[in-house]
Amino acid sequence: MEIHNTTEDIVIAEVNAICDSLQAKGEMAGICTCSQCRQDAICYVLNRAVPRYMVSHRGAARILEADPQNQADISTLVYEGIRRVSHNQRPYFEHGKDAGKEAALDEPVFNIPTIMGRVFSGLNFSPMSNINVELLTNGTMVEMKDPNWQNPYIIIPNTGGTFTFWPKPLPAKEADERQFFEYTVKINADGMAELNHGFTVPVMSGKINSGFSLNRTFKLPDFYLFPPGEEKDQRLLNE
């Protein structure tokens, strides 16, 4: 079973279309369209847009979560993202050198998928926001792929209680090597008991995954928070 965030496809296509058309017209107006700035703009939008997950299973696709109103917001976010990224360009990086092409890196790595989950109040089953979610491995915070991805992640309002992490790729000895990575999500909210959930992500090593379209999503079960002393077994809540 593959889980796919269709918002990613829309955002990647829109950012590339706008950057390509700016490059073609030569009307840059201070906008950088290099691959790093494109990826930064894509991250900016994806961290703010509502994800729409689809399960594809033997060719059959089923939309799990749909929000048509969200589509208009994405275009606004794309323009905002491209402008913001260009006005806050990364230092120590040769902008514009590659003009949209990805750097080819041959060393094998474990491309950890994006890790996504949702948090609800167990009291009224509404999505929670302004709460803190941490991704840990062996008790330490997991380093993210780049500074656009936050750990700890603060769930923002109107995103359906969604949090997303994209861990940094880890070095592998060779390609097609299978390894299991152990993680824990730690969720804290005022007035609620802390929730810790351990899970394992199987990853095959390969070349560095620089394109979002190649990325997989590891979907966690929905989490429900309860006041201290009223915790429920999370497994039962997902049945």
Where do contacts with Zn ion occur on this chain (CB under 5 A)? 32, 34, 37, 95
Peptide bond into 152 cis (omega under 30): yes
In the complex, least distance from residue 28 CB atom to Zn ion, rounded to whole angstroms = 11
Residue with tokens 């050198």: 97
| Nearest residue (CB) to Zn ion, 36 versus 114 | 36
In the Cβ-directed half-sphere of 163, how many Cα atoms lie within 13 Å? 28
Q: Over the range 216-231, which residues count as b (16 or more CB within 10 Å of their CB) and which as e?
A: bbbbbeebbbbeeeee
| Nearest residue (CB) to Zn ion, 32 versus 192 | 32
Cβ pair 106, 41 in contact under 8 A: no
| Nearest residue (CB) to Zn ion, 6 versus 16 | 16
Rg value, the chain, Cα: 19
| Nearest residue (CB) to Zn ion, 12 versus 172 | 12
| Nearest residue (CB) to Zn ion, 37 versus 187 | 37
Q: State which amino acid sits at residue 183.
A: Y
In the complex, least distance from residue 12 CB atom to Zn ion, rounded to whole angstroms = 17
In the complex, least distance from residue 24 CB atom to Zn ion, rounded to whole angstroms = 17
The CA distance from 196 to 188, in Å, is: 9
| Nearest residue (CB) to Zn ion, 37 versus 42 | 37
Token pair of 213 as six digits: 């379209």
In the complex, least distance from residue 95 CB atom to Zn ion, rounded to whole angstroms = 3
| Pure H helices in the chain | 6-25, 35-46, 70-87, 234-237
In the complex, least distance from residue 103 CB atom to Zn ion, rounded to whole angstroms = 13
Q: State which amino acid sits at residue 201.
A: V
In the complex, least distance from residue 25 CB atom to Zn ion, rounded to whole angstroms = 18
Distance between the two ends of the chain, CA-based, in angstroms?
Answer: 18
In the complex, least distance from residue 40 CB atom to Zn ion, rounded to whole angstroms = 8
| Nearest residue (CB) to Zn ion, 163 versus 212 | 212
Instruction: Say how many residues make up the chain.
Output: 239
